[in-house]
A and B are shown apart, each in its own frame.
Chain A
Amino acid sequence: MTSGFTIDAVRQLSASKNEPDWLLERRLHAWQIFEDLPMPTRQDEEWRRTDISKLRLNELTPFAPAGADVQSPLRLNGSNGGLLTQSNSVTVEQSLSDELAQQGVIFTDLDTAVREHPDLVRQYLSTEAIPAEAGKFQALNAALWSGGVFLYVPKGVEFEMPVRALYGLTAPGSSLFTHTLVVLEAQARASYIEEYASEGIDRQTLNAGAVEVFLRQDAHLTYITLQEWMGKVIDISTQRALMDRNSTLDWLVVGMGEGLTKTNIESGLRGPGANAQMLGILWGYGHQQTDYHTVQDHMAPHTTSDLLYKSALTDEAKSVFSGRIRVDKGAQGTDAYQANRNILLSKKASAFPSPNLEIEANEVRCTHGATVGKVDQDQLFYLMSRGIPLDAATRIVVEGFYEDVLQREPVASIRDNLRELIARKLDAS
């Protein structure tokens, strides 16, 4: 693979994987859009508080070979229902339990899925959920994705034991284009944990990722997505779920990484009765900048969404949260809730929440709230009066702050892993 981002790189990538023509065409189409769209600047509303002028695309290598193993941030061991591990987009480990395989569950990398299940992938990939037209980096991902994850659960198949994937990154100066495609057919029920992790990366490195989720009627997905990029990683990603009638999505986003993160997270409730729970646990430290843009998009009647994102920030970390609730004219009977809570542990940490409602229907219940506060000094004094030193007292308050999200977190079996991860991160800073 040559270095640099060119249309030839797109062709070579596709050729090297022996991809079918439809996919090459999709990549080339996306590449064209990428070239046509200007690089976002702070003049764009969505990028107002996040500066990516330091991103040097032409200094990045598109792909790197597999590197050393990266540990699961949740310290999950074993394959559970299934396991897919990638290093720099190269699949290094892959398994699926016999039980799930026999029921027709597909869990593999997207490259393999293109070969083995072309019709399925073709139906969903870069189509309705995240078309290349969605934006500059969405187009870049659609043109250059590699590796990727494909999870397919046939109609009526249910499993509790989560399948999980780990996207590892080890090559400084490289770029990743992670792409996850999840399809749950009608009445399917599944649980999926996805981790993004790297060791300390000492040079500018990019992940322009995409997650596309399709939930058919009455499907129920429990989805945990966790990012712990360490070092100078810029992550610009879009995650979007399209939800049909009476489907349910329990979605937890965990942000523990350094560097710069700009993530769009959207639930598209397009079938009546669809129900999305969107949770976030975010920890900001060092010079980290996070910019989460969430959308609760109510396109059908009697849909419900409930969002709770909590972030604690220390050092010079900066967190931007813009949460949008959209309710279409036809989406009567919508219930939508949104809360963003921020706690600042240092003088230089900052948080900028901005809720945003676009409501065109008239029979809806919508509430939203955002708060930014410091750690309560009286709480700290109380804890310290019991012998607990200041740093431990602060840690206890922050752990307690996250706890209501953890209590609602849908995969109870990993709750302690999450607590331990949070404790480890708080200890490290």
Chain B
Amino acid sequence: MTDNNRELRIENLHVKVEGKEILKGIDLTVEPGKVHAIMGPNGSGKSTLAYTLMGHPGYEVTEGRAFLDGVDITEQSPNERAKEGLFLAFQYPHSIPGVTMANFLRTAVNAVSETPVSARDFRQQLREQMRLLKMNEDFAGRYVNEGFSGGEKKRAEILQMAMLQPKYAVLDETDSGLDIDALRIVADGVNAVLGPDLGVLVITHYQRLLNYIKPDFVHVLVNGKIVREGGPELALELEQTGYEQFEPAGAPA
């Protein structure tokens, strides 16, 4: 594999959900070390893109492909994609009653690692990452997302990202439902994980999150298509102008 292959590449992606076409030809490339932001109004297909990339069975790819470091992941199961190095931070993480965060994370870490991680190393790593995310020690013993506050759920997503060390991470509306303090903690967590090896796709409705996680590129998604691309300044511009300029006249926002 050459260095040229090191990218998450989406080519002409068309996706149907329950028979309705939501994504209508997306082209996007995320390189290691770069932060890309996808911005767009509600219903533009942002979360569809996130779920499709992760391989949710309810999302049907009718055209186009996705490659992770040269590997075609279009037909892969979600766990195979995770093993290739893809991560999705969910907008609405699901709770798994009766399963502790520690057990869940250990199973996940071992599933994506080539070699099993010893219990001792795992515990040490988990403690360290939880400290960075300002999480209480009892967090590891709680059931996955069960009874978590909005902020705890998002921090738990970032904790998972930190533990699994993906090559590419998709953050789906990670800012939704967070107050400013929680947002800062989550953003700090993301920034702590960022580095030259991680490519990030931040999906967000608002510019707010991008004050904390600085994008290198901004893509505007409207009605299933990317309608404009630019640098970080585009996010600030959208904050002023909104998305209406991209909507066809008379169409619902």
Counting chain B CB atoms within 10 Å of each CB, the highest count among A377, A384, A389, A397 belongs to A384
Distance in angstroms between the alpha carbons of A401 and B144 in the assembled complex:
13
- How far, in Å, is A110 (CB) from chain B's closest CB? 39
A382 at interface by CB-CB < 8 Å: yes
- How far, in Å, is B160 (CB) from chain A's closest CB? 6
B98 at interface by CB-CB < 8 Å: yes
A396 touches which one: B78, B87, B107 (CB < 8 A)?
A: B107
Query: Which residue of the partner chain B has the closest CB to A388?
Result: B111
Q: Which residues of A contact B55 (CB under 8 A)?
A: 384-385
Does B83 lie within 8 Å of A387, measured CB to CB?
yes
Contact A377-B57, Cβ < 8 Å, known A385-B88, A386-B111: yes
Chain A: how many interface residues by the 8 Å CB criterion?
Answer: 24
B37 at interface by CB-CB < 8 Å: no
List which B24-61 residues lie within 8 A (CB) of chain A.
54-57
Does B82 lie within 8 Å of A386, measured CB to CB?
yes
Distance in angstroms between the alpha carbons of A78 and B103 in the assembled complex:
29
List which B59-92 residues lie within 8 A (CB) of chain A.
77-79, 81-83, 87-88, 90
Does A399 lie within 8 Å of B99, measured CB to CB?
yes
Q: Which residues of B contact A386 (CB under 8 A)?
A: 79, 82, 104, 108, 111-112, 160, 164
Query: Which residue of the partner chain A has the closest CB to B94?
Result: A382
B96 at interface by CB-CB < 8 Å: yes
Does B77 lie within 8 Å of A383, measured CB to CB?
no
Does A400 lie within 8 Å of B82, measured CB to CB?
no
Distance in angstroms between the alpha carbons of A382 and B103 in the assembled complex:
15
A381 at interface by CB-CB < 8 Å: yes
A177 at interface by CB-CB < 8 Å: no
- How far, in Å, is A381 (CB) from chain B's closest CB? 6
Distance in angstroms between the alpha carbons of A383 and B55 in the assembled complex:
12
Query: Which residue of the partner chain A has the closest CB to B166?
Result: A387
Distance in angstroms between the alpha carbons of A412 and B96 in the assembled complex:
23
B93 at interface by CB-CB < 8 Å: yes
B97 at interface by CB-CB < 8 Å: yes
| 0/1 interface trace, chain B 103-115, chain A, CB 8 Å (1 if under) | 1100110011000
- How far, in Å, is A355 (CB) from chain B's closest CB? 22
Q: Which residues of B contact A387 (CB under 8 A)?
A: 79, 82-83, 108, 111-112, 164
Does B99 lie within 8 Å of A384, measured CB to CB?
no
Does A384 lie within 8 Å of B98, measured CB to CB?
no
A384 touches which one: B77, B95, B96, B164 (CB < 8 A)?
A: B77
Does B98 lie within 8 Å of A400, measured CB to CB?
yes
Distance in angstroms between the alpha carbons of A399 and B104 in the assembled complex:
11
Counting chain B CB atoms within 10 Å of each CB, the highest count among A384, A387, A389, A403 belongs to A387
17 intermolecular pairs with C-beta atoms under 8 Å apart: A379-B94, A381-B56, A381-B57, A383-B104, A385-B55, A386-B104, A386-B164, A387-B108, A389-B77, A390-B79, A392-B111, A396-B103, A399-B99, A400-B96, A400-B97, A401-B98, A403-B98
Residues of A at under 8 Å CB distance from B? 376-379, 381-390, 392-393, 396-397, 399-404
Name 10 extra pairs, CB < 8 A, besides A400-B96, A403-B143, A404-B98. A381-B94, A384-B55, A384-B82, A385-B78, A385-B82, A386-B104, A386-B160, A396-B99, A397-B99, A402-B98
